[in-house]
A = this chain, B = another copy of it.
Amino acid sequence: MDKKIGFIGLGIMGRPMAKNLVKAGYSLKVYDLNKSAVADLAEAGAEEGASVSEVAKDCSLIITMLPNSPHVKAVVLGEGGILESASEGTLVVDMSSIAPDASKEMEKALSNKKLRMIDAPVSGGEPKAIDGSLAIMVGGNEEDFNEAKPLFDIMGASALLVGPIGSGNTCKLTNQIIVALNIAALSEGLLLAKKAGADVEKVFNAIKGGLAGSTVMNAKAPMILEGNFKPGFKIDLHIKDLANALDTGAAAGAPLPLTAGVQQMLQVLKADGEGQSDHSAIAKYYEKVSGTAIRKD
């Protein structure tokens, strides 16, 4: 693969992902509104792009890694955006976590101009972005997926095609629904244990090996029992993801009653100033309502 790779969006996640591609020998042309992020990449060996349009004109594969649907739509569909500037056949690989319907809408507009798009959001957070071990969930055509696969193999530990365009983000949202609810389940269960007089740490140890066990339990129960809510994955970001999930569910006819309930809890936490806390702070919602700290004795 000797063509130039475009990379738009050099934030907390995008920057180390782009660097890993450069390190692996790829020629990158990069762009971000934040000039120091661009300079940082240039130092690492990437070419600086002056605008989205310039990147789009120069590269036949463009990776985008941006905060949410409106940002990606601005870059792809907006004035001076990829749709306007890129050549026929260009493949857009959007690795942002956005609403699946936004992915579908953009892919439709791009395909009308013979451009291609796949959505490929990641999970794993900054540490896994740095060491190139992200989990990548991809929606799109198999051919396009295969074309981007070598890049995914550098940025991630796994990349799976899970359905047509939008499915990468749908998969991510499914993941986020389950994670949020599993944390809430853990919190609700531990609160009962605490209030009814059991030793919560021993309860955790007694159940973690059985059917109630989960990656969430192993990762988050110790944080809850210590009262340590350092992120990790922030409440604010989980609110964004569940908002996308609720919108997607509404459009697709999928009722999400428990997600809707947990979103209300997350929003209470945000209002309480916990937006930058780890999502394990869902336990703090239960602590607030019950007036009881779920801490080990």
Q: In the assembled complex, which residues on chain B have CB atoms less than 8 Å from the CB atom of A248?
A: 192, 196
Knowing A170-B197, A198-B167, the reply to whether A289 touches B268 (Cβ < 8 A) is: yes
A271 pairs with B256, CB closer than 8 A: no
Instruction: Decide if A16 is an interface residue (CB 8 Å cutoff).
Output: no
Q: In the assembled complex, which residues on chain B have CB atoms less than 8 Å from the CB atom of A205?
A: 160
Pull 9 A–B residue pairs with CB atoms less than 8 Å apart, ordered by A: A123-B211, A137-B206, A162-B199, A162-B206, A167-B196, A167-B198, A178-B212, A192-B256, A195-B253
Instruction: Decide if A263 is an interface residue (CB 8 Å cutoff).
Output: yes
Which of A72-80, A88-96, A214-222 forms contacts with chain B? Answer: A214-222
Knowing A197-B164, A264-B256, the reply to whether A171 touches B207 (Cβ < 8 A) is: yes
Instruction: Decide if A1 is an interface residue (CB 8 Å cutoff).
Output: no
Given contacts A178-B185, A188-B259, A272-B291, 17 further A-B contacts (CB under 8 A): A100-B197, A160-B202, A160-B206, A171-B198, A175-B206, A175-B207, A178-B207, A179-B211, A181-B189, A182-B212, A192-B248, A211-B216, A212-B216, A253-B268, A253-B270, A257-B261, A258-B261
Instruction: Decide if A286 is an interface residue (CB 8 Å cutoff).
Output: yes
For the complex of A and B, 6 pairs with smallest distance between CB atoms: A253-B271, A214-B214, A181-B185, A167-B198, A163-B198, A195-B254
Q: In the assembled complex, which residues on chain B have CB atoms less than 8 Å from the CB atom of A219?
A: 211
B290 pairs with A255, CB closer than 8 A: yes
Copies of this chain, complex-wide, total 4
- Residues of A in contact with B (beta carbons under 8 Å apart): 100, 123-124, 135, 137, 139, 158, 160-164, 166-167, 170-171, 173-179, 181-182, 184-186, 188-199, 202-203, 205-207, 209-217, 219, 233, 239, 245, 248-250, 252-265, 267-268, 270-272, 286, 288-292
A175 to B260, CA, bound (A): 21
